[in-house]
Amino acid sequence: MNDPLSTIRAGIGFLTTIPVGIDVEGIQKLSFHAYLFPIIGFIIGLLVGCIGFMLQFLSDYLFSALTILILYLVTGMNHLDGLMDFGDALLTHGSIEEKIRAMRDPSVGVGGIVFCMMSILILFSAIAELKPNILLSLLAAEICAKQSMVTAAMFGRSMHKGLGSIFVDNVTMRDFLIGLVFSMMACWLALGSWGVLALFAALSSAWMIVRIAHHNLGGVSGDVLGATNEIGRILALIVGGVAWTLL
């Protein structure tokens, strides 16, 4: 299998639960081709969006709940877990070391529960609102979420050695710009100018998260990248909801 295809397969294995196989070598290779993240987002958004499209006959609430279930069955819970750990760290008072200790604690604190609940509630409301246009909306949102991760990895500094640092240390401006061009084109085709606006809303959130992480944690970790994915998706869906309302 040639290099681009094997790297895309590694990306699918890393960012989804689809059993295509993934190992440390594949993750390392992916970190040097992070511009592929939005392409993986396109694949995820297309898959979940198509399933959501077929569920439109359901009531709004059931439709939204099942679409979210499918989304996390496809993507796994790692990014959501990162958001919860990030929430625990931010709501912990004290030094950077104490915040990092809270983030690494396997038990979930109040901050993690609050961040998770708010994320799911907003996601539920946004998807219910976007029911008639779920395919294009999820397509754009997943692209935005993955480009947000590339943005955080590009502009963040590594907090400590680990899975997250592989990407933070290896992502370059080239990865960011190639991913950005693809993301802008794909989001524009999906939602027009509103898609581009959704993308920049997600990227702005990534930049803010990086700043917050640097201030509170001293850098960016895999948990921070996961939180960036979840928040970027939500913001993109919110902008998409506004777009479909006004169009």
Span 104-155, pLDDT tens digits: 888 888 889 999 999 999 999 999 999 999 999 999 999 999 999 999 999 9
pLDDT at 1: 44
Residue 98 corresponds to which amino acid?
E
pLDDT band at 247 (very low <50, low <70, confident <90, very high): low
Q: Structure pTM?
A: 0.93
218 phi-psi bin (left φ>0, alpha ψ -120 to 50, beta other): left
- Supply the DSSP string of 1-65, one letter for each residue: --HHHHHHHHHHHHHS---S---HHHHHHHHTTGGGHHHHHHHHHHHHHHHHHHTTTS-HHHHHH
Are the C-beta atoms of 182 and 118 separated by less than 8 Å?
A: no
d(CA 149, CA 93): 26
- Of 1-5, 74-78, 181-185, least confident by mean pLDDT is 1-5
The mean predicted confidence, pLDDT, of the chain is 91
Strand, helix or coil for residue 74: helix
Q: Which residue did the predictor score with more confidence, 101 or 26?
A: 101
Counting residues of the chain whose pLDDT is more than 90, the rounded percentage is 67
Whether the predicted pLDDT of 55 surpasses 60: yes
Q: Where are the domains of the chain?
A: 3-246
Phi, psi dihedrals of residue 10, rounded to the nearest 5°? -60, -40
pLDDT at 48: 96
